[in-house]
Structure formats: structure tokens, C-alpha cells
Chain A
Amino acid sequence: MVKKIKNLKEFSLSNDRFEGANLMCPGCSHNIIVREVLNATNDPVIVATATGCLEVCTAVYPKTSWDVSWIHIGFENAAVAAATVSAAYEVMKRKGKLPPATQKMVDEGREPKIVAFAGDGGTYDIGFQSLSGAFERGHNFMYVCLDNEVYANTGGQRSSSTPIGASTTTSPAGKVSYGEKMMKKSMVEIMADHGAPYVAQVSPSKWKDLVKKVQKGFEVNGPVYINAQSACTTEWKHAPEDTIEVSDLGVDSCVWPLYEIINERDEHGIIYNTKLNITYRPKNKIPVEEYLAAQPRFRHLFKPENRHIIDLWQKAVDTKWEYLQKREEAGV
């Protein structure tokens, strides 16, 4: 059942199923994203979370921040956890053995939404095998990557999501290094290539876009991947109150383009069409430099000897933006 949301005020007053009074850093985007995802529906939600900031900050015995059923197993298995909860749900539904309150919801057309949350470490790196397997098998669940481009929970080590030039604790900028050497992995395309019916990239600052995509994802049958930009005040080193501004800079510079990929499938699951839609087009595409300048993790790039990395960044962002537009135009 799709929830009707009129405006931000009403949205922010939705019945919270995720308690804001947790141990996350002030200004953390994870909190915002999780609330936006859970508030996108009034249906029951069941959550699996990988080891990471969200997990260690929201379920420290004897407290919990979750007013939905929630499970954490390990770092690399959030996808299989959510997928198997989904499988268990399907079995019990088929056998007619769901708990009465759950059965009542199902009868009212309000099936539980099963959502996995994991950071980029738990998604791009250590959890990738489990994620790929779960998507190949086609379980009915949504996977949300809280992408802060670093192992933030363990003190800021680089991941395969860390963008080029970022200074992290394992790719520090130094006298002879400009920081991280690799480009960021293209997770959205990788997940779309699994044949998932719906894949999207979102930013918490564009809440309407995020909620719309999550709602679309909840409506499709099969695995859904959402890549969420999660500005990290601790590791990106911007002020806590600047989280939304930094997020907007990412979106408006097209460093973090907002788009969706829809694999249209027939009743047999055969994909007959793939569509890419850009869902937000900045009125004024700002230079990447402004995005980088807002985050001290990139401060060293502004030294004369590292300037070429900023140029490379701009080229990479422009190329990707053009690529996305071409795909959208071609309808593939």
C-alpha cells in the first residue's frame, strides 16, 4: 500500500519506527536516510543491518533504537540475512503459519517490507558476494547501501567506494601521495546488471526523490538496490550542520547523480527493456571543485602539485553525466 505524503512537515511527523536518540554522530546522514526509507511506507517493515556505524549505534544491549523487527549477523551477510527472512516469510505465508497480527496485515494488502541496510564496506567490498548471490536468486527485498565512501565505523579506512584523491587513514595524503588512487566502483550499474527490477541512486537531501524511489522499489517484485549518498561529518570532515549542504553540492555538481534503472520484465522474469531515468537535473551544474572544497578530506588536492586530480575528477564526473544522459535518451 503506497503511503501518501503531502509535505515535509507531515513526513517528518510520521510515526517513527527508528529512534533518533541513538549513538550516531551529530550530522550523520545514516539517520536521515533510514528515517526517510522507513517513513516511506506505513506497511510493516523488517530490517537486517550489516556490521557498521548504523548497527553499533542503534542496538547496544539493553537498548534498541528499532521499533521494527531487526537483525544483525555480521559484516558481510546483510543481503543474505534480509533475503532469507524474506524466504522464511514466504514459506510461512504459503503454509498459513504467519503470526496472527502479520496475517491480518497481509489480508489488508499490507505485506511486510524487508529491507537491508549496509555501508559501502559491507556492500562494495566484504558483502559483495552475499549481495550478488541474493540478487541472482531474486529474493523479494530492498537493499539500501548507506554510502559514505569509507570504513567510517573503524576509523576511516579506504573502501572500493572511496573516490580518487580522498585522504583516508589507509590512503592518507602525504608528501608524495595525493591520497586514494582508485576511482569509485560503479555499484549502481553492477547491481542493475544483475537484472534487478529496480535500482536507484538517491541522496537524503532530495527527500521527495528518495521517498518516491523507495516507494517504487517497495511495489516491485524482486530484489531492489538503492545506493544512498551518506555524507559523513566524521570522515569527510565537514561540520555536522553542513551535511545537507554537502549532499546538495554532490548532487548539483553531478558527482552524485540521481537516477534510476528499471529492468522491465515479463511474467517469466525475462527482461524486455531496460530504462535509465535521470530524476534530478541541476539547473546550474556547479564545478566539482566546489564539492571538493567543502570537505577537508580533499583539502590537499588544492595544492599545486595535486591540482591535476581535481581536473581528472571533473573529467570523470562530466563523462559519467554524459553517459547517463545518452543512456536515458536512448532508452537503454
Chain B
Amino acid sequence: MAKKYELNELEVWDGNMAAAQALRQADVDVLAAYPITPSTPIVQNYSKFLADGYVDGDFIMVESEHSAMSGCVAASAAGVRAATATSSQGFALMVEVLYQASGMRLPIVLTVVNRALAAPLNVNGDHSDMYLGRDSGWIQLCSYNPQEAYDLTLMAFKIGEDLNVRLPVMVHQDGFICSHTAQNVYPLQDEEAAKFIGEFKPVNTMLDVANPVTHGVQTEEDWHFEHKARQHNDLMNSFSTIKKVFDEFKDLTGREYDFVYKYKMDDADVAIFALGTTVESARIAADQMREQGIKAGVISLRVFRPFPFNEVAEALKDVKAVATLDRSAPGGTFGALYNEVSAALLAHGKNPVMLNYIYGLGGRDTTIDMLKEVYKELDECAKAGEAKYPLQQFLGLRGPKLAFY
């Protein structure tokens, strides 16, 4: 039996400690991991918890991220709670197995500390890894600060393990800006957290010798399509469980979460749509623009996958100009957020000016002044009723200005 970890009502944790504490409180049976910057402190913290007697499960330092996720898949299929952490190249190495985890319907939790993908090699935060996972069939939750990283990691277990869902869940936080920045976190006590998440409910466990099960079959053209469609169906239907868990968490803590995050959107004419820590900077920029008479708002996704298509359109229905900020090199098209938000608005008969800004790659600082420039450009477009700038620009890029479309 693990020792109880004495927690203060208010702790000062960085995002990595927040995620590690949530993993500890979830009483993970098998945590298989491989270190990679900037998520390394999650597994370092966890191994210290183990060394001090606060962890009851097994902690396996495997030889690669590929084996880390493979170990989680095997442990989860064996019928125990499994989790891991990674970033960037490690995430990329896991990709093959991410699809196997979701296809085999295993409720693994992966805490992702977002970081750029090489080349050139870069250890700092952007959303390249998060975007790489967007078709993998996982639920993807986004946090902006350590408190949210903690809260969402706890909720991830409860969402993924729900018998109506049984899908793996990623919880994202930004490398360094969130993962290494100590902030106030109000944790649950161990027993409260354990009660909230609940006991792991094994389904088709390999460890039950009386009921042998076959995991990871082959399906060809006769069944593969139906399997993937059903999987997508259950991912789409997970919204109801996510909402239920968000509601229960609010009842317990008072902290409120929704599929879409909105800041001063009720009367906004112009909006920045961003993910991660940039949301917090954009809030300050929006406040300052409002002092200048521009009705600025901020919108973000709490749930990146499944994509809350209707809620996004509803939140933007009266906005005249929207800037989607994509923190991932788009590779020959618009940023993913731009395409998805545009589709949501088009389907709902809305046609605001849509601009796409690529920003913050490899940890490039995105300042409040830069975001205010975005709002000013949006304001011009809103007033003119048309795009006055190229549809895709690079925010804060040195050298010649690059713009497309």
C-alpha cells in the first residue's frame, strides 16, 4: 500500500510536477516511460515518489518511447491502469503504437509536454507533436497552465476508462512555458482524487485465465472499415462523457471546464483562436485592445479531439474577423486549426474574415505586442469587411516577411 502524500491546500508546482502528482494519485499500475526533454521531470518526479514509498504500481524505464507506449498497450490489455509521458521526437517514435492503442480501445493516459519536431533539432515548445497525434484516434485535452495540467490529467483517466468511451487520452501542456514554470496549484487530497477517478475497471483482461481473450487481431477489407468507423463513432460520442466528467469535477472543485474556452467572446468583433499558453497572453492583449475600443476576444479548444465543431461555430457566430494561430509548421497548406475552424463556420453559414498566423515555432517567444498587432490587423479587416492581409502570415519571423494565399 502506497504512503499518503501530505499535500497543502495550495502547492507551487510547475506543469511537470502537476502532471506527475496526478499520475501518482491515479494509482497507475504500470507506468512505462522513457525520458525526453521537456517532459523528463514527469518521470523523474514519479520515480522519486516511488523511491519514497508513495507509488504502489510498477515503474518501468524502458529503452525507447516505442517500447513505452507498447508497454502501456500490453499492460492495459492485461487489464491494469497504464500511463506514460513524452514529448516531440519521443511522441513521433510512439506514433505507430498510438494508433494501436486507440484501435485496441485501451484507456491509456499520455501526458504530452509539447515540443517542436526536428529538423532542425529543437527542445522548446510548439505544437508539432500535438498535431502529429490528431488523427491517431485519441482524445486530446489541452491545458494552459499547471493547474489545468493537473486537473485534466485526473479527468483523463475518468474519461478514457468510462465504459462508454474506452479510448486513450492525451493531456497536452506547453514545453517549458507550462512544464517548467512554477505556479499556484490547488490539488485534491489523495483520497479525494482516488475517489473521483475510481477503481480501474478491467475489460477483456488477459490476466483472467478462465476467459482467454485475443487482442490485436487482423481485419482486412471485410471488417477493417466497420471497425474504424465504430471507433470514430465512439470517439465522437465521447463528448457526452467528457461533459459529464467536467461537470463532476466542477461539483468537486468549483473549477469549470468546457469543450471550447472563451474569453470576452460575448460581444467580440475580432477574435484570436489559439491553443496552449498563448491563450493567457492573448487574454492580456485582448484586455489592452478593449481599452483602445476594439472589442477583442480569445477562443481556444479544451478538447482538441474530438473537435467541437458546433461549439466553435456557435462561439464565433457574431465575430467579424478571426485569426487562427497555428503553432506548427503547416507543411504546404494552412494550419490545421485554420482549416477546421473555417469548415465549422462555413457549415454554419458564417463567413467572417479568416486569417492564419503561424507562430512560436521552436519556442520563439510570442509577445503581447505581437498579439496586439494581430488584433489591429483583424480590426482593419473587420471594418473593411474583407481580408486586407495575406491569409497566411508568420508572426514574429525575422528576415523578409513571408506570406501566402
Show the binding face of A for B, using Cβ within 8 Å: 44, 46, 48, 55-56, 59-62, 64, 66-74, 76-77, 80-85, 87-92, 95, 98-102, 105, 112, 129-130, 132-134, 136-137
Contacts and interface: CB of A to CB of B under 8 A. Distances in A.
A69 B63 contact: no
A102 B210 contact: yes
10 contacts: A46-B209, A59-B217, A70-B212, A84-B32, A88-B58, A89-B207, A92-B29, A99-B202, A99-B207, A112-B207
Interface string B43-69: 000000000000011101011101100
A106 to B, nearest CB: 9
Contacts of A100: 210
A88 B74 contact: yes
B70 interface: yes
Contacts of A102: 207-210
Q: Which of B74, B212, B218 has the most CB of A within 10 A?
A: B74
Contacts of B30: 84, 87-88, 91
A91 B212 contact: no
B96 interface: yes
Contacts of B227: 61
Chain B's interface size range is 35 or more
Contacts of A64: 214, 217
Nearest to A55: B218
A90 B208 CA distance: 13
A59 B211 CA distance: 16
Given A55-B218, A72-B217, A95-B56, A129 B70 contact: no
Interface in B212-237: 212-220, 223, 227
Contacts of B219: 60-61
A112 B79 CA distance: 15
Nearest to B226: A61
B82 to A, nearest CB: 8
A100 B205 CA distance: 12
Contacts of B122: none
B218 A59 contact: yes
Nearest to B213: A69
A133 B67 contact: yes
Contact of A85 (B78, B96, B100): B78
A92 B205 CA distance: 12
Nearest to A79: B67
A112 B208 CA distance: 10
Contact of A84 (B66, B78, B209, B214): B78
B218 A56 contact: yes
Contact of A87 (B58, B70, B211): B58
Interface string B286-330: 000000000000000000000000000000000000000000000
Contacts of B100: 73-74
B209 A80 contact: no
B73 interface: yes
Contact of A70 (B56, B72, B209, B215): B215
B80 A80 contact: no
Nearest to B76: A88
B47 to A, nearest CB: 14
Contacts of B75: 84-85, 87-88
A73 B97 contact: yes
Looking at A44, A59, A87, the one whose CB has the most chain B CB atoms below 10 A away is A87
B22 interface: no
B341 interface: no
Given A69-B208, A73-B74, A130-B70, 18 more contacts: A55-B218, A69-B206, A73-B70, A73-B216, A74-B97, A81-B74, A83-B74, A84-B32, A88-B78, A88-B82, A89-B78, A91-B29, A92-B29, A99-B202, A101-B209, A130-B64, A130-B67, A137-B60
A105 B206 contact: no
B361 interface: no
A101 B214 contact: no
Task: List the 3 closest A-B pairs by CB distance, nearest first.
Answer: A133-B63, A101-B210, A77-B70
A245 to B, nearest CB: 32
A84 B210 contact: no
B193 interface: no
Nearest to A17: B212
Nearest to A93: B207
A72 B219 CA distance: 13
B137 interface: no
Contacts of B175: none
A60 B64 contact: no
B126 to A, nearest CB: 28
A62 B214 CA distance: 10
Contacts of B212: 66-70
Contact of B96 (A48, A56, A74): A74
B169 interface: no
Most buried by B among A60, A62, A64, A74: A74
B67 A73 contact: no
A59 B216 contact: yes
Nearest to A67: B212
A46 B75 CA distance: 13
Nearest to B56: A95
A72 B97 CA distance: 11
B26 to A, nearest CB: 14
A84 B70 contact: yes
Contact of A80 (B71, B220, B223): B71
Contact of B62 (A44, A95, A133): A133
